[in-house]
Chain A
Amino acid sequence: MRVGIAKAFPLRREGPAKLTGTALYTDDLVFPGAWYGQTIRSTVAHGQLLGIELDPAFDWSRVVVLTAADLPGENVVSLIKDDQPILVADEIRHQAEPVALLAAPDRETLREAKQRIHLRTADLPAVFDPLEATQEFAHFALAKGDVEAGLAEAELVIEGTYRVGHQEQLYIENNAMIAVPRPDGGMAIHGSMQCPYYIHAALKRALRLTDSQAVIIQAETGGGFGGKEEYPSIIAIHAALLAQRVGKPVRMIYDRHEDLAATTKRHPAIVKHRTGVTRDGRLVAMDIEVVMDGGAYCTLTPVVLSRGTLHAGGPYSCPNVRVVGRAVATNTPPNGAFRGFGAPQTEFAVEMQVNRIAEALGMSPLELRRRWVYQLGDETPSGQILRESVAGAEVLERAAEAAEYERIRSQTAHAREERSASAAPSSVAQLTSGAERTARGIGIALAWHGAGFTGSGEVKLASVASLELTADGRIVVLTGSTEMGQGTKTIFPQLAAEQLGIDESSVEMAPQDTSIVPDSGPTVASRTAMVVGGLVIQAATRMRETVEASTGRAFADSYAEYAGAHGGLRVDQQFEAYPNVKFDDETYRGDAYPVYGWACAVAEVDVDLDTGETQVRSIVSANDIGKVIHPVLAEGQVEGGTLQGVGYATIEEIKLVDGRYLNDRLATYLIPTALDAPRIEAILVENPFSGAPHGAKGVGELPMDVPAAAVVAAIHDATGAWIHDLPASPERVIAALHGIAPPPLPGISTISPRSVAPAPSADDAGAPEEGLDPQPEARTDPQPMRGPYQE
């Protein structure tokens, strides 16, 4: 049932609206009489909320104030665990945590009211270092063979500890929600989001609404990257609570500062490796420990950790493997979904390790990977036999060849030797000429990425996509899958039309409105093209067969007639498990993913030896995505993901003081501009997945897994210095080059001198109340995991 895709590819469906400025994003929507909402947030990392004080000099009749005491339903943002409150009731667990809500008819009043509300808090000791944290959100263990025996047998054991910090998704459209009361007592939400049905579930619970009373409508969405997977739920609830009280629409539009300060980031991680090899380059044992910092609440952390754990060994066949992953709580804002979802962290670490082992063995990093990379029939640490679409070796060769990896590597090695021969040990004072100041290097990294949900997630989701032939002869795709720039609205009509034998312009897309479209699962995990796209094709196949069986003619020539005669036709297609794909959640063994995508990046860099600044000159990224549905859109995913990986590698870092994000503005949290961006060459490779009717394996996240390690390897190739922590910022490069103390570890808050001793917070006029327990309470979480959730 393989589908041949048309040669001519449709233009982005909503492209003209976006290009002419007529596409309506949330903040562009006008609701007459709407009020403006605002969130009052904590300014301590851990503390007791003693009181919320309203300045009596202010006229509070003009505004609405809501606190935890005013909530109509449970004080819970419904997700995996019920640990995150909608508003703090007593214990503050992180900076920028929502404590109260304000709404006013105009922005000026709102601004003034915000200045007149004060939180009285008493500090509690805060935990910032994940290695010191005692509360665990999740842990996983993978074992294959006998690691200790393997390490004992090895001729060389290489150890390494790699740390990565937070990364902000930095969609250019900030989070935004507008709540509009409905005549039936319910609430409509118009907003920027990836997962309308996540919000639907959370809103129903928070406001005690029925299914039909909660209506979630996606506005045009200006990027997500995982950042609009789960956090929009809390914003929608806040807006809805205010709208319910005011009785008018309420706009909750975050500005960049609030979005950066309060919303989820990529999890920081500490990954330790011990790898045993033989002198001739055989991989004998991998012992890996992963610790992720979940922040103050669970959010999606267990699934992020699971993906990180399952990918931690990289795409390499090894007889003895042990991976232990755990995620802990700290008093920092919760971390959540971000493109790659745990894999970029652990794959950075394993690729660093492989490149360092190649150096230790005096082997080419490319050659070492050729020997180690998974082949068809190999077994993964979870006991999965790789039965099809195994293309690590292919992407490796494609990228290495296109980038001329070995040729350039021999050039850079030569230049490095000349530099070290002609100059004494590098020091800033001795570097005078421009040629000496810059060193060029090349680096390579390889990755795999499990396609779709982890483990049994997709089966539990049981997603639905529908195709409708209306009585008046229109053909409409109905899915809950959202468009956030990746191309859902373009490829679904394309896939349906191809199967129906009609022009894609004859296929409409229903709006992403929960009162209209079914729950197709969240728009995450690179699953939209693969899983939901597959359902669309299956629905179209059934529709075509039904119509053609009835009319005896080709669908294209007879569907209008069929629609008139039968009053239309609707096909609901529900996901069925891929054949022979089984994962046991209890033992954590089996087919962790139905199939894998494979990617290889080769990066070339120039490192300024005076400033430590890295300019990534070019990146070649070869990605096996199963089937290319739309080459322009697929390349766009690879190029965009690659640049996010370059930012992760070189400049993107959140710095924290006392658990607060220090650089919480776009002037201080930097992402690559067009001048920072390298030339990116995307190579698309096709090894189809038999479980999906079109063979697609997903493309969104895969390219994010490889750039960071390739760039750091290139920095090493240029300078001879290994940077173990991301980002490889100028400070870290200089520190490594000159053997001086590196900057603080990424992802871990420093503590300001003022707050070393527990003291009343800045907002607190009085001393902590008597009887307050100064020790952090050991928190156990009785709630079972609800799921499935994914990136």
Chain B
Amino acid sequence: MTYRFTVNGADVALDVPGMRRLLDALREDLGLTGTKEGCGEGECGACSVLIDGEVVDSCLVPVSQVDGTSVMTVEGLASDAGMDAIQEAFLVHGGAQCGICTPGMLMAARAYIDQGGAPVDEDIREAIAGNLCRCTGYTKIIDAIAAAAAAQPV
């Protein structure tokens, strides 16, 4: 059957098996390879995307479950005006090293800030606890998210 949802604001209609992973649909059917696969079993968070504003591991979500929803991926963060505040903060603070966890990490950060998250170390750690990073020790990621959260108009 055909599944209809939006990805980064654009309407999408996919005629694929309902159990196809959202991750594969994004990467292979829609060519949005910014979303990464790290483990395929919901442990690493590299494939994190937002569904109606909530962070999910797209490797665990079948396409049938996103029918009628709004999906946001890393490709949806920047606009014609440039990178968003979180992306800029990651760049300045050194929150991205190898970059493979970065798209998922950014989505978790986006959800945290969109939901009114404060620049508080413990809360940020909780918000990104489902996203593994092996390069940074998390320090600069947390610094970046805190900076973006602090700059967010309340």
Q: Which residues of A contact B (CB under 8 A)?
A: 11-12, 14-25, 27-28, 169-174, 220-225, 255-256, 484-487, 632-633, 635-636, 639-644, 665-667, 671, 673-675, 677, 679-680, 682
Contact = CB atoms under 8 A, between A and B. Distances in A.
B84 to A, nearest CB: 9
A667 B44 CA distance: 9
Contacts of B80: none
B98 A635 contact: no
8 contacts: A16-B91, A19-B87, A21-B103, A223-B135, A639-B138, A642-B137, A674-B126, A674-B129
Interface in B22-42: 27, 32-41
Contact of B100 (A19, A222, A635, A675): A222
Interface string B89-111: 01111101111111100100000
Contacts of B78: 19-20
Given A18-B102, A221-B98, A172 B40 contact: no
B138 to A, nearest CB: 5
B95 to A, nearest CB: 9
A636 B39 contact: no
Contact of A640 (B77, B132, B135, B142): B135
B137 A255 contact: no
B37 A27 contact: yes
A375 B121 CA distance: 40
Interface string B6-33: 0000000000000000000001000011
B4 interface: no
A671 B138 CA distance: 12
A232 B6 CA distance: 38
A169 B98 CA distance: 14
A21 B134 contact: no
B102 A677 contact: no
A677 B124 CA distance: 12
A21 B140 contact: no
B142 A20 contact: no
B43 interface: yes
A17 B74 CA distance: 11
A220 B98 CA distance: 8
Contacts of A11: 91-92
Contact of A256 (B38, B75, B124): B38
Contacts of A255: 40
A174 B47 CA distance: 13
Contacts of B41: 256, 665-667
B36 A25 contact: yes
Contacts of A675: 125-126, 129
A681 B142 CA distance: 13
Contacts of A632: 93-94, 140
Contacts of B2: none
Nearest to A174: B38
Contacts of A486: 97
Given A21-B34, A671-B132, A674-B129, A633 B94 contact: yes
Contacts of A640: 97, 134-137
B101, B129, B138: residue with the most chain A Cβ atoms closer than 10 Å: B138
A643 B87 CA distance: 23
Contact of B99 (A169, A256, A485, A642): A485
B138 A677 contact: yes
Given A172-B38, A640-B135, A28 B33 contact: yes
B73 interface: yes
Given A632-B140, A643-B137, A675-B126, A21 B44 contact: no
B139 A172 contact: no
Nearest to B93: A632
Contact of B83 (A19, A172, A674, A679): A19
A663 to B, nearest CB: 12
Given A20-B77, A28-B33, A256-B39, A673 B136 contact: no
Given A174-B38, A639-B140, A19 B135 contact: no
Contacts of B33: 21, 24-25, 27-28
B133 interface: yes
Given A173-B38, A255-B40, A675-B126, A19 B134 contact: no
Given A21-B74, A666-B39, A673-B130, 13 more contacts: A18-B96, A18-B99, A20-B75, A25-B100, A172-B36, A172-B38, A632-B140, A635-B94, A635-B139, A666-B132, A677-B138, A679-B139, A680-B139
B113 interface: no
Q: 8 nearest interchain CB pairs? A: A21-B34, A222-B100, A485-B98, A18-B99, A639-B137, A485-B97, A643-B137, A21-B74
A20 B87 contact: yes
B83 A16 contact: yes
B149 interface: no
B32 A667 contact: no
Contact of A635 (B129, B131, B140): B140
A642 B102 CA distance: 20
A554 to B, nearest CB: 31
